[in-house]
Structure formats: C-alpha cells, structure tokens
Structure 1
Amino acid sequence: MILQCSHIDKSFVGETVLSDISFHINEQEKAAIVGVNGSGKSTLIKIIMGQLSADSGDIILSKDTTVGYLAQNQEYASDRTILEEMQDAKPEVGILERKIASLSAQMNEADGKELEALIKQFDHAQHRFDQINGYAYQSELVGVLKGLGFENEDFDKKIASLSGGEKTRVALAKMLLTAPDLIILDEPTNHLDLNAIHWLEGYLAQYNGAVLIVAHDRYFLDKIVSKVIEIRQTKSRVYLGNYTEYTKKRQEILDSLQKQYLNQQAEIKHQEEVIAKLKQFNREKSIKRAESREKMLDKIERIDKPIEENTKMHLLFTPKIQSGNDVLTVKGLSKRFADHVLFENIDFEIKRGEHVAIIGDNGSGKTTILKMINDLLTPDSGTITLGTNVEIGYYDQEHHVLHMEKTLFEEIQDEYPNMTNTEIRNLLAAFLFTEDDVFKQIKSLSGGERGRVSLAKLMLSDANFLILDEPTNHLDIDSKAILENAINHFEGTVLYVSHDRYFINTTAHRILDLTSQTMLNYIGNYDYYLDKKDAMEQAHLQTETKVSDVTASATATASDTKLSWQQQKEEQARQRKLEKELQAVETEIEELESDNEQIDTELSDPANGNDVAKLQELSKKRAENDARLEELMQRWESLSE
C-alpha cells in the first residue's frame, strides 16, 4: 500500500464537502476519483497533497514515497526554455555527466595511485549513471515532449512565452520524467489533443508506479484505471474495475437499494393497515395484537430513500422547422495565418440528420472551420454554402455568445423578451441555476457554469443545425451523458469539434479528420476511425504520390475519403443488412445448440434406452443439427470479418 486515506472530513463555512472518506492505493495501482462538479474531488486531492488541511482523518503515505502532482490550473513561472526545464527534471543526470567528463579528463593526466583512485570514482559514477538510465535520458526527454504534442522547433521556446495549456503540458512532461512513486493528476486531458491523450494513456497504463486521476474523460479512464473511488453526497464508495464496470456496478447498487426501499415501504404500509384494522375491531385481544405489531414496526431499521443529487440538467433540442436535405456544402476551403498554412482545398458535405465530428491535432484549424461557417472568419479561398431553411445554433467553447457584464437572468431575457419571468426561472432551474444564482454575472461563473448557460441558449434557439465547439469541456460526467442523449435524439443536423473520444464514439455518424492540411472522411464512430485510420492515411499518401494520374489513380485509392452521399447511404444500408443477418445467424446457432442439449438429455435418459426407433430419430436429428451448425459457424465467421 502506497497511500491510505482514512476517515477524511472537510467542511467550508458550515457546509460539509467530504465526510468519512476512506480508501487506499496500492503500489502500481491505477485509480480514478469521480463525482459530479462540486462534489469535492479537487478538495480531496489538495488534502492529500497537504495544500489543504482536513477537519479530521489521516493521510498516510508509505515511507520514502515520492509524489508527482499536476493541478488543473498550472501556475508556471520560468525564464528557461522548455528543453532547459526538462533537463532539470533529473538534475542527477547532469551532475553525473559533468562528473564523468571531469574524471575522464583527470585520468588522462594521472598515473599510479592517483589514477587508481580516479578510475574507482569513474566506475562508481558510471554505474550510478547507468542505474538512473542516464544514457537514454535525452531520448526519453524528447519522447515525452513529442508525445505531449511539442515539436523539435518548440524546444527552445521560453516557458514565459507559452500559453496556459502549453505550460500545463510542460509541467506534465517534467513531472513524468521525474518518475515519482505516485502520480496524481487533476484533469490531465484538458489541454491535450487526441494524439497526446492517446500517448498519455499508453504511458500511464505501462507506468511502473501508482497513478491517481481525477478526470471526466471516460474513454481515458476505461483504458487506464482498475479502481474507481466515487464521491457522491459527501461520501465515498470504492468500485473495482474500469469506468464502464463502475457505472454498471453503481447502477446495480442503486437498483438494489431502490428495490429494498420499495419492498420495506410496502411491508410498512401493509403492517400499518393491519394495525389500523385490528384497532377498528376494538376488542381487547385485537388491540393487544395491534400494539404488539406497532412495537415490532418501531424496531424496524428504516431504509433511507435512495436520492440522486439535483445535478442533472434537463436538455432537449427541438428544431422549429426542417431543413432541406443539403445542409452544408464546403468546396475548396483554404486558410493560412501569415506563413502558416492551416489547410488547403478542403471539400466536404453534410446532409440532413447527420452527426459529424471534426477531429485533429491542436492548431490544425478545426475551430477556424466552425468560425468560417458562422461568418466569424473569412476563408482565403473556397465557398461555404448553407442549404434551404437551415437555421444554425452555435456553441462557442470560448462563450463569446455570452455577455460577461449581464446576469444570467438578463442574458436570457434580452435574447428572448417574450419569455415571462417564471419561464426564465424555470429554464435556468433546468440547468441547475436556482434562487439567487440567476442574478450572478456571467463573468463570475466557472467554465462549467458558462457552458450550461450556453447550452440553455442553444436549446431555446430552435435551430435545426447545431454547430458545437468542444461542447463537453468543463462538463462533469453526468452532464456529458445528458448532452449525448440530447444530441442522439435530435432530429436535426449536428457538426462539432471535440477531443472527447467517448462523446464522439457515442454521438458521431461520421468523422472528418483534419490532418496534414487536408481532410479525411470516415463513415462511422470513433472506434471505426481507429480501425480504419492507418489504411486510410496510407491510401491518401499513395494518392498524393501519384500526381501523374490524379483522376484515375487518386480516385481509386482515396474513394473512401470522397464517397458521394448516395454511396455513403448504400454503404450504411449494406452494413445494416449484414448486421441483421449476423444477428439472425447468432439466434439460430443459439436455438440449435439449445436443441442439441435437449437431444443429449433424451439420449442419455434410461427410459429411452430400449426405444430403438426414438434413439435413431434423435441421433438423426442431432446429426442434422450439427451439419447446420457447421454451415452457420462458417457464415458467422464470414459475416464477422
């Protein structure tokens, strides 16, 4: 065991945030702390790190344990370059390098006993240098920086000149290079693109120490953790397994508690009715029996009604009118800033009812495309055409659609003056803003709260084409699930940028990957994209190299990236047909196997031992089933491929 949290309590101004929190982390264990926004996750991390004191309880670290910590908002002040900062992550490497060089120079000038002493020191220094992996440190350093999205040309940048997100990545890189016994991360994926998140997943999954993570990235948690510590209603509960297993077990527990509560309530009601009836008889024996039942009823330990926190917003997107089939057509779109080319000659179409995700590295131009569609930026070349009756609802990750000086109430009232005060309050309450919360200024809200206000305005817009820029940023896991459900039930069209892979996997029908200044088209969700990514990129690369035969060769190799709308529909219909046939084959296999079990039971029944005709009939039927099963198994393998 490397970390023990025992009976931790914490309150602020009389409000209990954490009560009786207990759990432990073993060596090399990967665990997550989950809970809705405001449940006390970051508070608990700060208590573990000694930045806050608990009101009661103990934090116990095993002896000589080193801890690395990455906070959500990283303050990083340094006059050094990124590379200089990284080289300082293991100062012993630099000290030993200089010592080995110095000893080597001294040995060239020494002899006799002095040389013997220097050789001994040199061997000792070299052995220690090898122990701390000094020879591979430079390549490890470069690998971590590149894994987190930095390029060689970034290494000489001054840390003071970096953005907040870049500073957080530098802090994460340096912390990983120090290789502590316990890594504690608070929302580590917030400033990482998909490639960097994927790299960090692999790094942490193989990490030789223990890891404790606070994150809302469900895909990330599924890949890494084997234990989930849930904080809900100030209490903690520990679940073994990854995030998906946690959600299943948690629901099973809630269902069980609800069932126990309802059963007990039904029993209490029944007993109360019996007691009331006995008292109505008004006889000495019946009254005594009623009193006896009352005493038994008083001794029952009442089960509290399972209550979920009031943390679930109510979100439903309903288009006012239906758009035409052609929602958006983009042709020859290009954009550069100074000498930096973001993308060139991008073409894509979006049809009514599609849910399309744009993915790509940080800085590739994803948000720029959304801003161009919304006339907030002008393309260098190309055209953007909206279809008939298309009405856009835009969710901006920077929340420029909000007015910082207004209150929440004014934000809604000014935009929708026909709404009554009660309607505005009811709407804001549906997004978890109640009582005096509605008079807070927008500028005083957290990122998650601003996100909820933006979603409220988006819901009121009655748009049939939703354009969303990182809609899950700052939302807790429960709110993300609600947004996913609202999008999946939306009858209009959705185009969004996101690095939340779980969200993409759940809501996207198609993925546009903005990579190498162009766009590749994947007709499926995130799992499909991962499966086809290498083949698609190879096909695109082959297309690019065959310049002499663009119309013939490029069309053949990149057909999947430029499928017509009709081809896409035909492919989707074919997939559905195959899936339906696969399901039918699996059903028939199950039925035949069940039939064989029944036949085997009858064949082994002593009562049928002398019935030759029946045994022959059963054996014949068994052989027919086996032959059919062989056919079905072959077909199942073919369909599965």
Structure 2
Amino acid sequence: MILACHNINKSFGEHLIVQDGSFHIEDREKAALVGINGAGKSTIFKMIMGEEPSDGGEVILAKGKTIGYLAQHQNLSLGNTIYEELKTAKSQLIEMEQQIRSIELELKNLSKEALKERLETYNRLVSTFEAMNGYAYESEITGVLKGLGFQESDFSKRTDTLSGGQKTRVSLGKLLLTQPDILLLDEPTNHLDLHSISWLETYLLNYTGAVFIVSHDRFFLNRVVTKVVEIEQGHIRMYSGNYKAYAEKKQQIRDAQLKEYLNQQREIKHQQAVIEKLRSFNREKSIKRAESREKMLEKISPVEKPSETVSEMHLTLEPSFISGNDVLTVEQLSKGFDSKILFKDVSFEIKRGEHIAVIGGNGTGKTTLLKILNQVISADAGSFTLGSKVKIGYYDQEHHVLHDDKTIFDEISDDYPTLNNTQIRNTLAAFQFTGDEVFQLIGKLSGGEKGRVSLAKLMLSEANFLILDEPTNHLDITSKEILEHALNEYTGTVLYVSHDRYFINQTANRILELVNQTFVNYIGNYDYYLEKKEELTAAYAPSSAVLPTDTASTTVPASDAKLSWQEQKELQAKERKRKNALKKTEEQITLLEERNQVIDQLMTQEEVYSNSVRCQELSEERHSNDCKLEELYEQWETLAE
C-alpha cells in the first residue's frame, strides 16, 4: 500500500463532501476517482496533498514515498521557456552532471591520496547518474513534449505567454518527468488532442509508480485503470476493474438494492392492510393480533431506497420541421492564418440524419471549420451551401453565443420572447438552474454552467442541423450519458467536434478526420476509425501532400482525398467487397488442394489402384480440381493486385 485514507470527513458549512470515507491505493496500481460534478473529487485530492484541511480522519503516505499532483489550475515559473520549465524536473540530474564535469577537471591536479578519494566520489556519481538514465534526460524531455502535442518550434516559447490549456500540458509534462512514486492527476486529458491522449494512456500504462486519476473520459479510464474509487452523496466505495466494470457492477448493486427496497415496501403495505382489516373486525382477539403485527413492523430495519441514476439535467432535442435530404455541400474550401494553411480545397457533403464527428490534432482547424459554417469567420476560398429548410443550432465551446452582461433568465427570454415565465423557469430547472440562480449574470458563470445554458438554448432552438464544438467539455459522466441519449434520439443532422472518444463511439455514424490539410472520411464510429486509420490516411491524406506555400509552380495531381464523401463511401464498399472475395477465393483454393492431397494418398492404396473404375473416378476428379485451381489462382492474383 502506498496511499491510504482512513475515515476522512469534510464539509463546507451544511454541504457534506465526505463522511467516514476510506480507501487505499496499492504500489503501481492505476486507479480512478469518479463522481458527479461537485461531489468533492478535487477536494479529496487537495486533502491528500494537505492543501485543504480535513474535518477528521487521516491520510497516510507510505514512508519514503514521493507524491506528485496535477491540479486543474497551474502556476509556472515566470520567464522560463517551455523547455527550460521541463528541465527543472531534472534539476537533480543536471546538478549531478555538473558535479561529474567539475571532478573531471579537478582530477589532473590532485595528489595520489586525494585522487583516490575523489575517484571514489566520481565513480559513485557516474554510477548513480547512469542508473537514473542521466545521459538520456534531454531526449526524454523532448519525447514528453512531443507526446503532449508540442512542436520543436514551441520549445522556446515563454510560459507566461501560453494559454491555460498549454500551461496544463507543460505542468503535466513536468510532473511526468519527476517520476514520483504516486501521481495524482486531476482531469489530465483536458486540453489534449486525440494523439496526445493516446500517448498519455501508453505512458501511464507503462509507468512504474502508482497513478490516481480524476477524469470524465470513459475511454481513457477503460484503458488505464484497474480500480475505481467512487464518491457519491458523501460515501466512498471501491470497485475492482476499469470504468466499464465499475458501471456494470454499480448497476447490479443498485438493481439488487431496489429489488430489496420494493420487496420490503410491498411487505409493509401488505402487513398494514392486514392490520387495518384485523382492527375492522373490532374483536378482542383480532385487535391483539393486529397489535402484535404492529410491533413486528416497528422492529423492521427500513431498507434505504437507492438514489436515482438519472441526473437532474433533462435534455430533449427535436427539430421543429424536417430539412431536405441534402443538408450541407462544401466545395473547394480553404482557410489559413498568416503563413499557416489549415485546410485546402476540401469538399464534402452531409445528408439528412447523419451524425458526424470531426476529429484531428490541436490547431488543425476543426473549430475554424465550424465557425466558417456558422458565418462567424469567412473562408479564404471555396464555398458551402445549406440545403432546403435547414435550420442551424450552434453550440460554441467558447460560448460566444452567450452575452456576459445578461442574466441566465434574460438570455433565454430575449432569444425566445414567446415563452412565459413558467416555461423559462421549467427549461432552466431541467438544466439545474433553480430559484434565484436564474438571475445570475452569464459573465459570472463557470465553464460548465455556461455550457448548460448553451445546451438549454440549443434544446429550445428546435433546429434540424446541430453544429456542436466540444459539447462534452465541463460535463460530468452522467450528463454526458444524457447528452448521448438525446443525440441518439435526435432525428435531425449533427456535425460536431470532440476529443471524447467514448462519446464519439456512442453518437457518430461517420467521422471526418482533419489531417495533412485535408479531410479523410470514415463511414463508421471511432472503433471503425481506429481499424482503418492507417490504411485510409495513407490512401487519402499522405504526409507528402503537405507542400510549402511558396511552391505555386508545382502542379499537384487531383487527390483521392478530394473525392466527395459519396465517392469515398463507394470506394470503401468496393474495398470491403474485394477483401471478402479474396478471403473466399483463398478458402476455395485450400479446400481443393487438401482434396488433391487426399486423392494422391488414396491412389497409393492397393484396393484403389487395383480397381480400374475407382481409379478412373479419382483421376477425373483430380483433373477437374486442377482446372478449377488454375482459374482460382488467376482470380486470386487479380484480387490481390
């Protein structure tokens, strides 16, 4: 055991965070801390780190063990570049290296006796330096920075010029390089793109220390953790397995508790009915029997009703009218900023009812595409056309569609003036805004609260084409599941940007990946994308397609990447058909070859070769097989090409 919390207690006024909570983390174990927003996950981390005092209980870190903490808000050294900031994580190695170099300079001037003593120190330092992989620390820093999505051109940027997300990535890289015995990571996948999240998963899976993670990324938790610590209504429970195993076990426990509760309620009602009937007889014996039953009822320990699994947030999305079949047509669209081209000459179509996820690395232009489609910014070249009766509902991750100087109530009433006071309050209550909370200023809200207001407006819009930019940001897992259900029930068309792979898997039936300045089309969910990524990227968006902006004189042949989505879909269907035919041909070849081997074996047996009729039959069968094999070999070569 490396970390344990015994009977910890914490409240903020009347708000209970945890009561008599206990859990432990074993050495090298990968565990998750889960719970709804506001349950107290970050508070527990702060209590472990001593940043927040507990009201009781104890936190125990194993003797001699080190702990590292990634909080949601970062403080970095002023004046350092990104690379210099990460080098501070290796200060011990750097200091050791300086000592080694210093001793090397001293050795030639020392007496024989002093030389022996100094060499012992030198050898000890070199041995420790090598054991700590000191000669590779610079490449280790570079590897971590690139894994977290930084380019070499970013290494020299000053940390005080970085965005909040970039600072978080720098802090995460610095923490990983210090390699403490246990890592506490609070939402480590925030601000990471899909490539960086995948890299972090692999890093943590191979990490030699323990890891304790707060995250709403279910795909990430399923891959990394082997234990889940849950905090719910002040109680802490531990479950073995990943997030999927936890969710299944929790549902099983809740179902059993609900069954026990309902059975007890049924028995209580039955006994109360019997008691009432006995009393109605109004006889001495029947009254005594009724009193006896009442005493038995009083001794029953009531089974607590399990809490509802449904969140307070209620989201229903439904278009007010149906659009035409052609929802969006994009033709030869290009966009860049300064000298950087984001995408160039891209064309695709979206049909009614499609649910499309746009994915790609940070800074590739995904959000820019959505802003162009919503006419927030203009494209450099190309055009797009909305289909007949298309009405857009836009969810902006930066919430530019909200007005900071308005109250939540006014934000809804100004956009939907036909709604009365009760209708507005009912809508906001569905998104967890009740009482005087509806009069809070938009500018004073947290990112998650602004997200809920934007979702409320989206629900009221009755749009038939939803364009969503990172809709799951700031949502807890329960709220994500509600949004997933709402989108899956939605009969309109959806185009969204997301880094949440689990969410994409649940809601997308098509994926557009923005890579190497173009879009690659995948007809399927995220699992299908992972299966086909390498093959389709090489076919439709090879890295050599990215050309310097000054090579205007170089002619580039028309790329398959610029085919319409319908053409790409047909090509992918042909490829699947070719592979199936190839597999079937190989199976037929194997069967005929095996049969020929059996015939050859039979022909060596006396009872066969001495029987002229049987011998003739087998000979003719083998000749027929050979003719079929010739045809199949030719067919196989054609399919293989």
Q: TM-score range by the shorter chain?
A: 0.7 to 0.9
The 10-residue stretch of structure 1 (537-546 or 158-167) with the greater mean CA deviation from structure 2: 537-546
Unpaired runs of 5+ residues, structure 1, are 580-641
| Partner Cα distance (1:542, 1:71) in 2 | 38
CA distance 1:150–1:567, shift in 2 (3 Å) = closer
Q: How does 1:518-533 map to 2 (within 5 A)?
A: 518-533=518-533
The 10-residue stretch of structure 1 (473-482 or 329-338) with the greater mean CA deviation from structure 2: 329-338
Name 1:10's counterpart in structure 2. Answer: 10
Report how far residue 272 of structure 1 moved: 1.2
Name 1:562's counterpart in structure 2. Answer: 563
| Partner Cα distance (1:339, 1:569) in 2 | 36
Partner SS, residue 191 of structure 2:
coil
Q: How does 1:17-96 map to 2 (within 5 A)?
A: 17-96=17-96
Report how far residue 460 of structure 1 moved: 0.7
Query: 1:42 is matched by which residue type in structure 2?
Result: S
| Partner Cα distance (1:410, 1:575) in 2 | 54
| Partner Cα distance (1:65, 1:137) in 2 | 22
Contact 2:77 2:85 in 1 (8 A): no
CA distance 1:545–1:499, shift in 2 (3 Å) = closer
Report how far residue 118 of structure 1 moved: 2.9
Report how far residue 176 of structure 1 moved: 0.5
| Partner Cα distance (2:113, 2:62) in 1 | 44
Report how far residue 545 of structure 1 moved: 7.2
Query: 1:8 is matched by which residue type in structure 2?
Result: I
| Partner Cα distance (1:490, 1:299) in 2 | 50
Report how far residue 548 of structure 1 moved: 8.8
| Partner Cα distance (1:566, 1:95) in 2 | 60
Name 1:127's counterpart in structure 2. Answer: 127
| Partner Cα distance (2:25, 2:308) in 1 | 27
Partner SS, residue 88 of structure 1:
helix
CA distance 1:543–1:88, shift in 2 (3 Å) = closer
Report how far residue 106 of structure 1 moved: 2.2
Partner SS, residue 535 of structure 1:
helix
Query: 1:230 is matched by which residue type in structure 2?
Result: E
| Partner Cα distance (1:296, 1:573) in 2 | 73
Q: How does 1:313-462 map to 2 (within 5 A)?
A: 313-462=313-462
Name 2:468's counterpart in structure 1. Answer: 468
Q: Percent identity?
A: 56
Query: 1:456 is matched by which residue type in structure 2?
Result: A
Report how far residue 18 of structure 1 moved: 1.7
Q: TM-score scaled by structure 2?
A: 0.86
| Partner Cα distance (2:409, 2:287) in 1 | 60
Report how far residue 109 of structure 1 moved: 4.0
| Partner Cα distance (2:135, 2:43) in 1 | 40
Q: What's the CA shift string for 1:145-183, capped at 9, x where partnerless?
A: 110011111111111111111111111101100000110
Partner SS, residue 363 of structure 1:
coil
Report how far residue 574 of structure 1 moved: 11
Contact 2:404 2:443 in 1 (8 A): yes
| Partner Cα distance (2:94, 2:110) in 1 | 24
Partner SS, residue 104 of structure 1:
helix
Q: What's the CA shift string for 1:279-308, capped at 9, x where partnerless?
A: 222222222222211111110101122222
Partner SS, residue 419 of structure 2:
coil
CA distance 1:545–1:250, shift in 2 (3 Å) = closer
Partner SS, residue 89 of structure 2:
coil
Q: How does 1:164-563 map to 2 (within 5 A)?
A: 164-308=164-308, 311-540=311-540, 550=557, 555=560, 562=563
CA distance 1:97–1:571, shift in 2 (3 Å) = closer
The 10-residue stretch of structure 1 (308-317 or 399-408) with the greater mean CA deviation from structure 2: 308-317
**Number of residue pairs aligned between Structure 1 and Structure 2:** 572
Query: 2:483 is matched by which residue type in structure 1?
Result: L
The 10-residue stretch of structure 1 (334-343 or 505-514) with the greater mean CA deviation from structure 2: 334-343
CA distance 1:572–1:313, shift in 2 (3 Å) = farther
| Partner Cα distance (1:124, 1:201) in 2 | 35
Report how far residue 340 of structure 1 moved: 1.5
Partner SS, residue 86 of structure 2:
helix
Q: What's the CA shift string for 1:392-440, capped at 9, x where partnerless?
A: 0000001111111111111111111111101111111111111111111
Query: 2:507 is matched by which residue type in structure 1?
Result: T
Partner SS, residue 319 of structure 1:
coil
| Partner Cα distance (1:469, 1:509) in 2 | 17
Contact 1:36 1:311 in 2 (8 A): no
CA distance 1:119–1:235, shift in 2 (3 Å) = same
CA distance 1:462–1:446, shift in 2 (3 Å) = same
| Partner Cα distance (1:414, 1:132) in 2 | 63
Partner SS, residue 512 of structure 2:
strand
| Partner Cα distance (2:333, 2:565) in 1 | 18
Contact 1:5 1:23 in 2 (8 A): yes
Q: How does 1:103-142 map to 2 (within 5 A)?
A: 103-110=103-110, 112-142=112-142
| Partner Cα distance (2:570, 2:273) in 1 | 62
Contact 2:521 2:568 in 1 (8 A): no
| Partner Cα distance (2:190, 2:357) in 1 | 18
Contact 1:233 1:309 in 2 (8 A): no
Q: TM-score scaled by structure 1?
A: 0.86
Contact 2:520 2:541 in 1 (8 A): no
Contact 2:69 2:184 in 1 (8 A): yes
CA distance 1:446–1:258, shift in 2 (3 Å) = same
| Partner Cα distance (2:317, 2:573) in 1 | 25
Partner SS, residue 31 of structure 1:
strand
| Partner Cα distance (1:570, 1:367) in 2 | 28
CA distance 1:433–1:569, shift in 2 (3 Å) = farther
Query: 1:182 is matched by which residue type in structure 2?
Result: I
Query: 1:468 is matched by which residue type in structure 2?
Result: L
| Partner Cα distance (1:52, 1:385) in 2 | 55
| Partner Cα distance (1:187, 1:526) in 2 | 22
Partner SS, residue 463 of structure 1:
coil
Name 1:627's counterpart in structure 2. Answer: none
| Partner Cα distance (1:319, 1:528) in 2 | 29
Report how far residue 120 of structure 1 moved: 1.9
Contact 1:543 1:550 in 2 (8 A): no
Report how far residue 569 of structure 1 moved: 7.6
CA distance 1:177–1:351, shift in 2 (3 Å) = same
| Partner Cα distance (1:382, 1:99) in 2 | 61
Q: What's the CA shift string for 1:166-210, capped at 9, x where partnerless?
A: 111111101100000110011111111111111111111111111
Contact 2:516 2:542 in 1 (8 A): no
Query: 2:16 is matched by which residue type in structure 1?
Result: T
Contact 2:349 2:565 in 1 (8 A): no
Query: 1:45 is matched by which residue type in structure 2?
Result: F
Contact 1:311 1:432 in 2 (8 A): no
The 10-residue stretch of structure 1 (565-574 or 201-210) with the greater mean CA deviation from structure 2: 565-574
| Partner Cα distance (1:104, 1:574) in 2 | 64
Report how far residue 111 of structure 1 moved: 5.6
Query: 2:238 is matched by which residue type in structure 1?
Result: V
Q: What's the CA shift string for 1:450-488, capped at 9, x where partnerless?
A: 111100101111110000000000001011001111111
What is the alpha-carbon root mean square deviation over aligned residues? 2.3
| Partner Cα distance (1:417, 1:165) in 2 | 37
Partner SS, residue 513 of structure 1:
strand
Report how far residue 269 of structure 1 moved: 0.9
| Partner Cα distance (2:538, 2:384) in 1 | 29
The 10-residue stretch of structure 1 (474-483 or 67-76) with the greater mean CA deviation from structure 2: 67-76
| Partner Cα distance (2:171, 2:218) in 1 | 23
Partner SS, residue 89 of structure 1:
helix
Contact 1:26 1:210 in 2 (8 A): yes
Contact 1:81 1:156 in 2 (8 A): yes
CA distance 1:542–1:87, shift in 2 (3 Å) = closer
